[in-house]
Amino acid sequence: MFIRLSYTLNCDTPAYGGKDSFSSKPLNQIKNGDSANTSNWEFFNHLGTHIDFPYHFYQNGQTIEDFTDDYWIYTGDKIQVLDVDLDEKNLLIKPENVKIKNLNLKAELIIFKTGYGKFRNIEKYWKFNPGIDIKTTNWIKKTFKDIKIIGLDSISISSWQHRDIGRNVHRELLNPKNPILIIEDMDLSKINNDTKFKMIFIAPIIVSGSDGSPCTIISEVD
């Protein structure tokens, strides 16, 4: 069975900081006598389910072109989902908020499930979103030696209410010397720590020199 772990981009897609969302403007239209339908899309490159590259926070950081195609494919034995028990008044995910169950120390792709996706259609999703604390970043790097990517079901790894901490977390993870990429705004409504993965495929839009890119994520599960 296949499950998509990314959202559809549309005019209702929430943006970090309440910024402008996705827009689609028709160019050619069959109903107006044109031979085909075409549109012009405008959107922030960190909108919706997207991935951050080191160049997002480092002028000398890697862009999408610095990662090989096999970087986007993960087998089940390289995946770890971590359920998060977080009080809504505390918007920073700390190690003690992570439910340690069936820990896979060889994981390369770590996914935090906060359950916050249920608020995605209201202002709360971007204005009071959970982010990752720097202590958790250090715990991840110490625990998962082979880590390549971190993902979560929050609009950003940076809590809007704790942006200074969020910027430090981004810099710590995206350090060009040993980068850990970040996937934000994932749809994790159909998976949890007990999900048995066969594979996860990440397909970012390939744009030369990009600091971030929307992506489609498909998982195959038992």
- CATH number of the domain to which 115 belongs: 3.50.30.50
Question: In the chain, how long is the greatest CA-to-CA distance?
Answer: 61
Range of the domain at 55: 2-221
- Least confident stretch, 52-56, 60-64, 189-193: 189-193
pLDDT value of residue 207: 96
pLDDT value of residue 49: 98
Which run of H or of E encompasses 142?
A: helix 134-143
Average pLDDT, rounded, for the chain: 96
pLDDT value of residue 87: 80
The tens digit of pLDDT for each residue in 136-179 reads: 999 999 999 999 999 999 999 999 999 999 999 999 999 999 99
Q: How would you classify the pairing of strands 92-93 and 131-132? A: parallel
At 82 the three-state DSSP class reads strand
Span 47-59, mean pLDDT?
98
Whether 88 shows a pLDDT value over 80: the answer reads: no
Span 91-97, mean pLDDT?
95
Does the pTM of the predicted model rise above 0.85? yes
pLDDT value of residue 90: 86
Quick check: 184 and 52 in contact, CB under 8 A? yes
Task: For residue 125, report the phi and psi dihedrals to the nearest 5 degrees.
Answer: -60, -40
Q: How far apart are CA 105 and CA 72, in angstroms?
A: 19
Which residue, among 40, 61, 117, 45, has the nearest Cα to 84 in the 3D structure? 117
Q: Output b/e per residue, 138-155; b: 16+ Cβ within 10 A.
A: ebbeebbeebbbbbbbbb
pLDDT value of residue 89: 80
pLDDT value of residue 193: 87
Span 36-42, mean pLDDT?
97
The tens digit of pLDDT for each residue in 3-22 reads: 999 999 999 999 999 998 99
Whether 120 shows a pLDDT value over 80: the answer reads: yes
pLDDT value of residue 102: 81
- The tally of domains found in the chain comes to 1
